[in-house]
Amino acid sequence: MSEREKAVNLLNIIDDDKMVYVVGILENLAGFVDIPNAQTVAAIQEGDEMLEQGTGQRFEGSTEDFFAKLLEE
């Protein structure tokens, strides 16, 4: 049984008076979910394709060094 199925089973046995607490917890947790926008999804897909095809460039170094390199170009 998945965690989601366990949660649904527990929700089914909680009485309505206590459900307000459960809803509050779920609302707080839902705020931490990051749903990528279309641009992010496209970038992830592009990165996956580059990994599969062996194309692109790999940079090893700090973020500061990376931005310095970008500014040089």
Average pLDDT, the chain: 89
- Average pLDDT over every residue of 13-28: 89
3-state class of 10 per DSSP?
A: helix
Task: With beta carbons less than 8 A apart as the criterion, state whether 69 and 59 touch.
Answer: yes
pLDDT tens for each residue of 21-56: 988 888 888 876 677 889 999 999 999 999 899 998
- Average pLDDT over every residue of 9-15: 93
